[in-house]
Amino acid sequence: MLAILATLLFSTNAVQARPNAQATATLVATTEPQEMDEAAAAAAYCEAQGGTVTTRYPTYKTNAPQDRWLRLAGSRDFCTFHSEADATGFQSQISIALDTLYADEPTLAVLAYLEPVALPPFTGANPSSLYCSKLGGTDLFGGAANAAGGGWVTEAPDSATNFQVVGMCVFADMSAIDSWGLTYKANGVVRGTDLSKVVRYQPTSLPNVFTGSSNKPSPSIVDQTLTEQDNGKPVSLKAGDTMTVQLASNPSTGYSWQVISDNAAVLEQVGEPQFDLGSKTPMPGAGGTETFTFRAVGAGTTTLTLLYSRPWERGTKPTPQNTWTADVTVE
């Protein structure tokens, strides 16, 4: 009977009632030996890689005083890695679900870490939640417009090494990873440790689950890249060529670049513009680079014009400082 109950319990949603690797005594009474052994093996693997196992509970309303928090059903174990302390004693960290770390087959959370794509434009909202959502995951409790907040909470917080509330980006396959750690990685900043070196899944090649669907082309297929310095200059392309335009932008101000003039029969915009912080730390209000991608589709000449403006402001007169143009000829 216990075996049947345990099988039913652990075949349900992975966020609900995951076995706690540290609660060995409880596992003996409620879990089949194979499952208990795997949980213990995953915990041992985490610690062997330099991580620490922490049990966390999904909790709603963490923006309110703690006595008003609402703990939801279930719990889950995470492996947390810390970097070496800097001059101030601060240690960056990253957490990943214990079963995600230990999986030797691909998971969406690990692939998202290994295949970073450009951040979406900042809108004043939490950039880590925006990035998680762009990848198809979620770390939201109560919906996107809910200000009550939520996250994964530990009962033994330490402000220096074990944050009390952490936002975890949970994917459709139930794999999970620290939302902020994932966002920093997208900008080339490794928090805690480089997970690519410690996860059990070590592919010889990546399946391009995320980069394959990105609007940002591989550098190897971009024939020309234009910047602010190319404003007003003529451009020559051949049919089939790919061109990108990279311009400084700060969407948190409400301003963004808009394509206001081109001939789609000659030059076709590919996808939506991508915003990238470059080497900057991702935080609300930070500026970066907005990248537009175009493909030469037919012979002819067109004037490509981009305007830096607030889209909702009508009737504003373009200024030279807010306008970028290029006369594009496609052979």
Q: Going from the N-terminus, what domains does the chain have, and what CATH number goes with each?
A: 2-213 (no CATH), 219-330 (2.60.40.2020)
Residue 16's φ and ψ, nearest 5 degrees, are -90, 125
> Does 32 score more than 70 pLDDT?
no
* CA–centroid distance for 297 within its chain: 32
Provide the pLDDT confidence category of residue 14 given band limits of 50, 70 and 90.
very low
> Does 214 score more than 80 pLDDT?
no
- Is residue 174 within 8 Å of residue 13, measured between CB atoms? yes
Please report the DSSP string for 30-98 in residue order: HS-HHHHHHHHHHHHHHHHTT-EEEEEEEEE-TTS-GGG-EEPS--EEEEEEEPPP-TTS---EEEEEH
> Rounded mean pLDDT of 229-241?
93
User: What ranges in 142-295 are assigned the alpha helix state H?
Assistant: 179-186
> Does 223 score more than 90 pLDDT?
no
> Rounded mean pLDDT of 256-283?
77
> Rounded mean pLDDT of 92-114?
96
140-146 contacts, C-beta under 8 A, 24 or more apart: 141/58, 141/59, 141/60, 141/61, 141/62, 142/60, 142/61
Higher-scoring residue by pLDDT: 315, 235:
235
Q: Taking the model in full, what pTM does it have?
A: 0.62
Q: Where are the beta strands (DSSP E) in the chain?
A: 52-60, 70-71, 76-82, 93-97, 150-153, 165-166, 168-170, 176-178, 224-226, 234-237, 242-249, 256-261, 267-269, 274-276, 288-296, 300-309, 323-330
> Rounded mean pLDDT of 48-59?
96
pLDDT value of position 207 = 85
pLDDT digits (tens, 9 = 90+) for 112-163: 999 887 777 666 678 899 889 989 999 999 987 788 999 999 987 665 567 8
**Residue appearing with tokens 């051949």:** 238
Q: Quote the mean pLDDT of the chain.
A: 82
Cα 107 to Cα 171: distance, rounded to the nearest angstrom:
9
